[in-house]
Amino acid sequence: MRTCFGVDLAWGEGTPARPPNETGLVRLGADGTVLDAGWARGVEAVAAWLAERMSPGDVVAIDAPLVVANDRGMRESEREVGQRYGRWKVAANPTNLGTRRLAGVALRRRLEASVAGFAVVSGLEPPGAEAVSAFECFPYTTLVGAAELGYDRERPRYKRPNAALPAAERRAFRARECDDLIERMTRLAAADPPLDLRSHRVTAALLDERSPLADRPYKHREDLLDAALCAWTAALWARHGLERCQVLGLGAAPDTDGRPSTIVAPARPEQRR
């Protein structure tokens, strides 16, 4: 039975003096049950976690650039994020071969070498039964592109403190935005495909605990939340394909080995070109 994975990857690989940030990880069953959830640090640990659990037919959505072929500037997929989701205040940071934080590329190479059938797909084709299909996703496009979550006008501000507010109010506002997002995600238990955060003790804690104000525990919580969004994005694409998702960056040339540099993004009709 196909399972779907969400990886909120830390883009930096760390140094001997400074370990990488945490990566959030979620494995989702076809019935919406969260089968595994947690965190890992570093490309090797993330790759090992995935390789131990992946099987042919599975789908993996990773929040990090997986294929980077442009020498400078931004990738076409990143440019199209702003073009199609900018009205909802969603935009992507530029990535190129000069970018210092490319852990996604390192993870892709590690999984290609260690997992039989692992391949980055463009998103146009359905997932193969004999392969592990991986694609790049961007959780903000899921938040505003999936009507189930109700962000009809703009994205939630649950990431960085809102600089428009007085400094003393920023972290409390961020925590409220995060708690509201988690409450909205409970609706996905009855969605098609489903995601039941209550079904695993680690993700259930998102519902049972309020978002902290301090930066480090907040980031720990946010990484898991984004991994759950990635896993549901993988399930949405596997279940509905281009009926519910669009592929950004199709006009860009692939890398030298033919890999696509695309992003699979849930989309409302008005977000499509």
**Percentage above 90 pLDDT, the chain:** 89
∠167-173-177 over CA atoms, to 5°?
Answer: 150
- Residue 273, domain member (yes or no): no
For the chain, the maximum distance between any two Cα atoms, rounded to a whole number of angstroms, is 53
- Residue 185, domain member (yes or no): yes
- Residue 272, domain member (yes or no): no
Residues 6+ apart with CB under 8 A from 212: 175, 218, 221
Q: Which residue has the higher pLDDT, 11 or 202?
A: 202
Mean pLDDT of 96-105: 92
For 42-97, write each residue's pLDDT tens digit: 999 999 999 999 999 999 999 999 999 999 999 999 999 999 999 999 999 999 99
pLDDT on residue 16:
78
Find the DSSP H helices in 39-102: 43-53, 76-85
- Residue 61, domain member (yes or no): yes
- Residue 158, domain member (yes or no): yes
Torsion of CA 195, 120, 130, 2, to 10 degrees: 0
- Residue 95, domain member (yes or no): yes
pLDDT on residue 182:
98
**Whole domain around residue 151: which residue ranges?**
4-266
Q: Which residue has the higher pLDDT, 11 or 193?
A: 193
Torsion of CA 195, 200, 206, 208, to 10 degrees: 120
Residues 6+ apart with CB under 8 A from 186: 197, 198, 207
- pTM, full prediction: 0.97
Q: How confident is the model at residue 17 (pLDDT cuts 50, 70, 90)?
A: confident
Length of the chain: 273
* The two three-digit tokens of residue 234, written as one number: 């993988």
Q: What is the rounded distance in angstroms from the CA atom of residue 234 to the CA atom of residue 228?
A: 10
pLDDT on residue 19:
87
Contact 155, 88 (CB under 8 A): yes
Number of domains into which the chain is organized: 1
For 199-237, write each residue's pLDDT tens digit: 999 999 999 999 999 999 999 999 999 999 999 999 999
- Residue 271, domain member (yes or no): no
What average pLDDT is seen over the chain?
95
Q: How confident is the model at residue 18 (pLDDT cuts 50, 70, 90)?
A: confident
Place of tokens 């071969």: 97
Q: How confident is the model at residue 253 (pLDDT cuts 50, 70, 90)?
A: confident
pLDDT on residue 8:
98
- Residue 162, domain member (yes or no): yes
